[in-house]
Structure 1
Amino acid sequence: MRNRALRGQFLGGVPPFGFTLNKETQKFELVVEEAAIVKDIFDKYLNGDGILKIRNYLNENNVLGRNDYSVGTLQSILKNIHYTGDFVYSKRRNLSRTKKKKTSKDEWITVENNHPQIVTNQDFLMVQDLLKKKNRAKPENLDKRVSGNQFLSGLITCNVCEHSYYHGPRRNGRGVKFDYYVCGGYKTKGKPYCNNKRGLRIDRIDEILFVSVIEILKLDKVMEIYNETANKIQDRLKDDLSNQNTKKERIKTLETEKNRYLELIIQSENQILIQEYEEEIQKRITEIKELKEVIKSKGSTDETLNYFKKLKEEIKHTFEVQYNFNKIIDLGIENVGGIFKHFIDNIRVQDDEQCKRTELDIQYKVGIPELKLLQDIKPVIEIFDNETLVQNTNHNSISEMLNQAAKNYQVCVYEMEYAPPVLKKR
C-alpha cells in the first residue's frame, strides 16, 4: 500500500466528490460537473458564505439533481487536500480495528501534482485558516452531534425524512441557550430535504413523556393496552401453530409414502422399478427435511402461545400491590429516564406549521420484559414510598439497583420473541 501511495495511486474506497478513478492509472480524473460545484463551494466560502448558507443554496437549487447536501459533506470537501492536485496518504494511523489516530505531517506520503487540480494551494490554505478561526469563535459548533443521557435518545424519528432526532443546542433572541431534540435530516441537509424544522425542547418533552409513562403504568391503562393487542397477537400465534400442524401432518404422510416405497423395493426384482422407487423415496426425504427446517426456524409456537396466555395473570400479579409511581419522579429523569424509556417503543414527529404545533405519535410497549423490569425496580419504589427508608438508603445503592434492573431487562428482551406494543397518540 505504501508503494502504491508513493506512485500516487488510489488505495480503495470512494473517490472524493468531483473525481472519478481511472482504472488504468489508478489515479483521479475530473468529473467536470462535480468539479465545478467543488470550485463554487470553495469560492463561496472564501467570499464569506457560511457552510449552512452554502448547503441551503445547493439544496434549494437542486444542484446536480440533489437536495441532500449536508453540513458534514461540505466540511469534508473543504478539508480535502486532494482538490489541490496533491495525493496524500497516511494522515491517520490504525491503532486497532476501530480506532485511528492523526499523524504528524512528517509521516504523510505526499505526491505533488499527481492529478488534475480543482482549487489552488493558496485558496485551500486560506479555507483551512478560516475553518480554524470560525471553530475557535464558536466552540459549541451547532452542527456537532452532542452525546448525552437524554431520556428519549434514540427513540424519536422524523415522520418526513425518517432521520433520528438528536441533541442540538439552540439560543433564543436573548442569547439564552436551550437543549433541543432536532431532526438530523433538517439539521444537516436543510429545508428542501426535510421541513420538520421545529425542535423539541428537551426539558419540556422529557418531562411530558416521563409523566405519560407513569400514567400508562396503572392497572386499568395496562389492561387496556393488553386487551387492544392480545387478540391480534394470539391470532398470529394461532395461525403459526395451525401452519405448523399442517406441516407436521404432511411429514406423517410423506413418512408413510416413503415406507410404502421401501416395501415395494423389497418385494420387487425389477431394477428399473427399484431405481424409480429409490428416486421417489429421495424426493420425500428431501421434502421432509425442508419441512422440519421450517418448523425448527419458527420455534415452539405452541409454547409461545401458552406463555403469552399467562401474560394477563402476570399483569395482574405485578399490579396486585398498588405502586406509587409518582414517587419515582423524586429520583429525577437523569437517574431513571434510562429505565422508563424502555416503556416507549418509538416516537414519530410531524410538524404542523399552519397551527404552529408538533404532533407526536407515541408507541408504548408493555410486555413481559417490561413487567419484569417493574418487578425489579419495585424495591426502589418502596424506598421512595417510605421516608424512613429514603433517609437510611445510600443513593449509590439505589443507582446500583436501577443499573442491575436495566441489565436484567436487556437479557429478558434477548430471550423473549413476543412483546405486545400498542400505538397511542399524545
Structure 2
Amino acid sequence: MATAIYVRVSTDEQAKKGFSIPAQLEDCRAKAREERVDNEIIEYIDDGITGSILERPSLEKLRNDIRQGIIDTVIVLDPDRLARGTSILLILTEEIEKYCKLMFVNSDYNKTPEGMLFYQLKGIVSEFERAKTRERSMRGIKQKMKLGKIVRGNNLYGYNFNKETDMFDINDEEAEIVRLIFNKFVHPDPCISGPNMIARWLNEQSIPTKKRVGKWHRSVVRRILCNSAYKGEFIQNKTDWNGIVRGRDRITPKQKDPSEWVVVNIPAIIDPAIFEIAQDKIQVSRRLYAGLNKHKYLLSGLCRCSECDRPMRGKKVSRKNKVDYYYYCKCDVEGSQWGCGKSIRCSDIDDIVWNQISQLLNDPDCIEDTNILEDNILDTGYEREIKRLEKELSKIEQMKSRLFELLSTPELVEDVRKKLIDVTEKQTKLLSELECLKKEQSDFDSYQLRKDRLKEVLKVATEYYYGKRMGLGIDEKQHLVRLIVKEIRISSYTDVEIITY
C-alpha cells in the first residue's frame, strides 16, 4: 500500500499567493513525516486545472488507484486544493474515506458534527472566493476588450498575434490565401466553386493550414468565409462558457445576446463589400442548390456498403456518348475518410429493391407463402453486431494476457497499469452492450412478431400505393421505399440486404 499526495494549482496568480506546486509538495511531505508515514509516497499533480470540476487527469488517476486498493492514505494541503465547490468536495471526501484515510495539512479535519460543519463551511467560503475571483477577472477582461485589446481567440488564420500590443498583425502569406478563398467563392470558375471544392483545391496545392498539420476541410473554409474579422471586425464576448466543462466530448457553448458582444477593429484583409457578397451567397446556397440534381436516385440516402460500412452516394458516370448512374462507395467531402471505391449500377439495384417492394404492395398476404422474411428483408442486424462484439472481446482478452506478462518489467509497470485500467473499462462496456443486445434479440427474434410488424407498415404503404397507382413517378416510388425500408446493405449485384423498419 502507498500514501498519496495530491496537489493542484489552477493559475499563475495562485502560485504567487503561496499555492505553488513545490510549496504544496514540501508541506505535504512534512505532514507525512510528522505522521510517521514509512510506506511509498506517490505524488499526483494537477497543474493549471480548476478545482471546480471533477475531470482532472491526476485526480482521476488517484481515484482509480484508490478504488484498486493501491492507496491507503491521501494527504492534501487544504480542502480547496481538493475541490472548489462544496458538492464536489463532499463527493470526493466520501469516496476517498470509503477506501482509505484522508488528511489535510492546514485543516484539523475530524469526522464529528462540529468537524463536518467547519469542513463544509470552508468549502462554501472557497466556492464564494472562486466566484468573486471570476467576477473580478471577467471585469478586467471586458475592460481590455473595450480598450480594443484581443483577449481570446488569438489563433486566427491570416493574422499573427502581437503579445506586446495585444493586437493582430496581418500575416502576408496567409492573408493571400484568405483573399484567394473569398475570390474563388465570390467569383467561381467551372472547376472550383463552393467550400468543398475550394478545400480540395487547397489540399491539392499543398497549402498548409494554420497549425501546419492536417488537411483543409470544407467546414474550415466555410468558417473563414463567415468570419467578420476578415473585414476588420473581430467579435469578442460572443459565447458563454460559464458552467461548461471542457472534457473529451465535443461541446457547444451558449451564444450571448448580440448586445453583449464587443467588436474590436483590426486590420482588414477583405474589402467589406466583397465580404457582404460572400455572406449573401452563403445565405442562399442551401436554397439554391438543395435537391436540384438533374437525376433523382430512388434509393438516395438508404444504401450502405456492407464491406466498409460507409454510405453509398449517387454519381453520374459518362463514357464516350453513354451516361450511367451508380451508387458509389466513395466520400466526396474534402477532409473526410475515403470509402472502399465500390460502385454498383443504380438501375440494377433499383430493380431488385422495387420488385421486392411492389410484390409486397400488390399482395401483402404473400408474406404467408414466401420466404421473404428469411431473405433478410427484416434482418435486424443483431447477429452481425453480436459477432462483432464477441470478436472485440476476444481481442481484449488476448491484449490483457500480453499486458499481464509485461507487468514483470519494472520500467513498464506504470504504463501497463494505466493501459490495463483502460482495457478493463472497455471490456466492461462491451460486455454490457453484448448483454443488452442479446436481450433485445431474444425479445425480437420471433417470426410471428416480425411478420405482424411488417404487415402494419405495409398497410400504410399499400393505401398510399393504390391511391397513387395510376401516376407513380420517381417521387412517389421513393416515398414508398422510405416508408418500408430502413437501410440497404450492398455487397454485390447478387448480395443485397434489405433492412425494413
Output the TM-score relative to the length of structure 2. Answer: 0.37
Higher relative contact order (CA 8 A, sep 6+): 1
